[in-house]
Structure 1
Amino acid sequence: MLLLAAMWGLSIPVTKLGLLTMPPLTLTALRFAIAVPLLMLLIVGRQTLPRRAIPRVAALGVLGIGVGQVAQTFGVAGTSASVGTIISATIPVFIVVFAALRLKQPVSGRQQLGLLAAFGGIALVASGSGNETSAVSATSVASVVLMLLSALAIAFYYVWSVELTNEYGTATVAAWSTLFGFLALLPWAGWEMWHVPLQITGQAIVAAVYLGLVVTVAGLFLWLNILRTVPAGIAAGVQYLQPVVGVAASSAMFGDQMGALFAVGVVLVLGGLALTMTSPSKVG
């Protein structure tokens, strides 16, 4: 669990590192070009995906990658790595909202308080980073909105995938939805590579390999194994450690400054996360 928290917690800072020399769509496409073949290998001999499920799984992949991951990469390009990390940490909070709307799971008073705390924390985190002067650490309102859009899309991806994984298996749905999302992304990445100056550096390649191999493939494999051996409530502790790792890494890698407003915002987001995830109502 500690290893997984470190692997996933470094996702946003490593994305920021890759974006220093590679445009967003190209980096995202390269990430999934690495991940897709490995994910497909993981499901060899497992449950197959029937034809009737293809439209829904394809739409799931477009949502998760074409909207969620692309919006996240563009958002990270315009925020500090610390701000991006904290906003992405709200994904479990949004999962509670969508689980209530789609799966009809009740939202307790504790969860409602957690939602309010998390939203207030996001506002403080964004405003607490507005005076940064470094190009690497600068944060724009539009990029914060993109990060929120990413968190919403990825949260809905997880909730929607519950219905599909119950029928066809988690690894099967994850692999095929990733493939469909990657195929939908390719034309846009090709357009970007044709129109945007592209500099392929070792730094960008390492970032793409880390995101594809470590975050996407190894992270999924570890997570599935953790869920088989550890109670879900304990496994959820990974969600609390990720932003801590990410903010620490962002400070070390990019010199992100964490002022008073940012610190208060982080506490509110993590507190909101704790309140929403310790309530009996969970996705599953």
Structure 2
Amino acid sequence: MLLLAVIWGLSIPVTKLGLLTMPPLTLTALRFAIAVPLLMLLIVGGRRLPWRALPHVAALGVLGIGIGQVAQTFGVAGTSASVGTIISATIPVFIVIFAALRLKQAVSGWQQLGLLAAFAGIALVALGHGEGAAGLFESSVAGAACVLLSALTIAFYYVWSVELTDKYGTTTVAAWSTLFGFIALLPWAAWEMWHVPIQVTAQALWAAAYLGLVVTVAGLFLWLSILRTVPARIAAGVQYLQPVIGIAASSVMFGDQMGALFVVGVVLILGGLALTMTSRRKADQAP
């Protein structure tokens, strides 16, 4: 879980590097253009996907990439970093809710308190990153709504993937869902390439390679494996650590300043994670 948080957390500053010379949807499309062939190569000679499962896996990919990634791209463009970070931090909350509804995973009062503490920590981390409340006035309602839509779809994508990987295998579901999501993304990227000048640089290609190989391929396999062996309420904690790692890396790479609120926020996040992961140990062992 910690390794995955580092991988996904570093994707934020790496994406910033790529976006310096390449528009967002084009960079996202290039990312999946790198990831999809590798994923499809991994399933050659392996477990086949039944025809009856194709609509479900395709819908999973369209939901997570075609809708979730596109909504996130447009949402970030219409919000400040603080507001976007806070809204995106609702992903773990939605994961726990969806897991309780679909996977029947119980959530105790202490775990709810832990989630709230971690969410409050995310808010302080964002405010302590130098933008403060001023960011609220730089965000549009449409931008905030897009980020929230992205959080909802990505959370449901994570929970739904547990059911499908249990039936059809992690590698198979990861490869085919990513392929269909990439296909759904292509029209958006084509529209952007038609209207926005594109400059292909070594920096953008390096960023796309990291996002495609490490974040998408390695990260996706790690995440799906975690979800198959760890309850979603615990796995959701990975999402809370990402902004901390991402902002810390941005501070090193871009010279961003971190204030006292950032430190307090990190403490709240770690404390909330501890409550979320340890509060039901006895209850889990009893059955």
TM-score normalised by structure 2 residue count: 0.79
C-alpha distance in 2 between matches for 1:23 and 1:6: 25
Q: Is the 8 A contact 2:83 2:136 kept in 1?
A: no
Identity between Structure 1 and Structure 2 (%): 78
Counterpart in 1 of 2:265? Answer: 265
CA distance in 1, matches of 2:192, 2:171: 31
Preserved contact between residue 128 and residue 262 of structure 1 (Cα < 8 Å): yes
Do residues 72 (structure 1) and 65 (structure 2) align?
no
Contact 2:85-2:126 within 8 A present in 1 as well: no
Amino acid at match of 1:174: A
CA-based RMSD of the aligned residues comes to 3.4
* Residue of structure 2 in register with 1:141 after alignment: 139
Deviation of 1:71 after TM superposition, in Å, equals 3.1
Partner of 2:152: 152
8 A contact 1:93–1:272 mirrored in 2: no
State the one-letter code of the partner of 2:167.
E
Alpha-carbon distance, 1:242 to partner: 4.5
Displacement after TM superposition at 1:247 (Å): 2.5
Match in the other structure for 1:114 = 114
Of the structure 1 ranges 29-38 and 39-48, higher mean CA displacement relative to structure 2 is found in 39-48
Aligned-pair CA distance for 1:161? 1.1
Tell me whether 4-13 or 103-112 shows the greater mean CA deviation. 4-13
**Alpha-carbon distance between aligned partners in 2 of 1:102 and 1:3, rounded to the nearest angstrom:** 27
Aligned match of 2:96: 96
Q: How far is the alpha carbon of 1:258 from its aligned partner?
A: 1.8
**4+ runs of 1 displaced by more than 6 Å?**
82-87, 224-228
Decide whether aligned partners of structure 1 residues 150 and 225 sit closer, same or farther in structure 2, where only a CA change above 3 A counts.
Answer: closer
Could you tell me how far apart the structure 2 residues matched to 1:259 and 1:49 are? 50
Alignment of 1:251-262 (within 5 A): 251-262=251-262
| Residues 49 and 168, structure 2, Cα contact 8 Å, conserved in 1 | yes
Give structure 2 stretches of 5+ with no counterpart: none
Worse-superposed segment, 253-262 or 197-206: 253-262
1:166 aligned partner: 166
Distance of 1:202 and 1:39 partners within structure 2:
24
Q: For the Cα contact (< 8 Å) 1:130–1:140, is it kept in 2?
A: no
Moved more, 149-158 or 116-125: 116-125
Distance 1:213 1:27 in 2: 14
CA contact (8 A) 2:68 2:153 kept: yes
Give 3-state SS (helix, strand or coil) of 1:106's partner: coil
Structure 2: how far apart are the matches of 1:139 and 1:212? 34
- The CA deviation at 1:83 is 7.9
Q: Residues 185 and 89 from structure 1, CA distance in 2 versus in 1: closer, same or farther, beyond 3 angstroms?
A: same
**Corresponding pairs, count:** 274
* In structure 1, C-alpha distance between the alignment counterparts of 2:73 and 2:34, rounded to whole Å: 17
Counterpart secondary structure, 2:200:
coil
1:15–1:76 Cα contact (<8 Å) kept:
no
